[in-house]
Amino acid sequence: MSSSLHFVEADYSYYLGNDYRTTTKAPLRASTIVSNHCSWLDAVVLIKNVRPAFAPSAEFENVPLLGTLCKTIDSIFIPRGGSEEKKALALGAIRDRQEVIEQTGKFSPFLIFAEGATTNGTSILKFKKGAFFAEKTVRPMFMKYKQGTVSPAFDIMEFLPLAILHLSWAGFSVKVNVLPDFTPNEYLFETHKDKGQERWEVYAWAIRDIMCKSGKL
């Protein structure tokens, strides 16, 4: 499978106001990458081209090899679960790492597949809260796969036969499209307040809208 990085120009004036380029105070480094999610191959592609950190479940921390790999790329392990307490802990862990990255420039920006699920690469689902509630700078990305008979989105299969099928197929190529960093401001939250009941929903709407329009998704 071949992959390449492609930087895409974008004007965020519709979302941030006409003077956002001169008034935005950029952090030392964008803390979070938000990407669409098509397949288990996405993580492999992004590690090769971008080298982000990830936010796997806390249960993975002590898994042999996988836990070590996650640690070497600056990943954070977050508690997951349905209770409000676990959700609050997960959001707090994400926010704390975002602040460290933006204030110090240390650690790799971490990748969040904000849809919380995979799609077939033609659309993007509504985003979840994690990447946006702290209102930190996001770097949007979208992947475009070129495929033949076999699709990277054949994820209704069990993982082992799916992985064998994917790794036996030489026809994949993917372009990783990188958009400019996006730092939310009060113009966004006031002008587009009809796009969500909470501020994070307005922010999530803007990033998803940008990715959909830029990627024709």
Most confident of the ranges 42-46, 74-78, 92-96, 187-191: 187-191
What is the domain partition of the chain in residue ranges? 2-215
Q: CA–CA separation, 119 vs 6, rounded Å?
A: 21
Structure tokens belonging to residue 16: 């941030």
> What's the CATH class of domain 2-215?
alpha beta
pLDDT for position 114: 92
pLDDT at residue 19, rounded to an integer: 95
- pLDDT band for position 161 (50/70/90)? confident
Helix (H, G, I), strand (E, B) or coil at 52: coil
The CA distance from 158 to 66, in Å, is 19
Residue 209 has pLDDT above 90, yes or no: yes
Do residues 52 and 108 make contact, with C-beta atoms less than 8 angstroms apart? yes
Residue 172 has pLDDT above 90, yes or no: no
| Residue 46: pLDDT over 80 | yes
pLDDT on residue 127: 96
> In the prediction, which pLDDT does 212 show?
96
pLDDT band at 120 (very low <50, low <70, confident <90, very high): confident
* Pair 16, 187: CB distance under 8 Å: yes
Distance CA 149, CA 197 (A): 42
Q: How confident is the model at residue 55 (pLDDT cuts 50, 70, 90)?
A: confident
**Does the pLDDT of residue 144 top 70, yes or no?**
yes
Where helices occur in the chain by DSSP H, the ranges are 13-16, 20-23, 41-49, 66-72, 84-104, 159-167, 186-191, 199-215
**95 Rama class: left (phi>0) / alpha (psi -120 to 50) / beta:** alpha
Confidence of residue 117 (pLDDT cuts 50, 70, 90): confident
What one-letter code names the amino acid at 172? F
**Quick one: pLDDT band at residue 80, thresholds 50, 70, 90?**
low
Mind listing the pLDDT tens digit for each residue in 106-115? 888 989 999 9
- Say which amino acid occupies 127: F
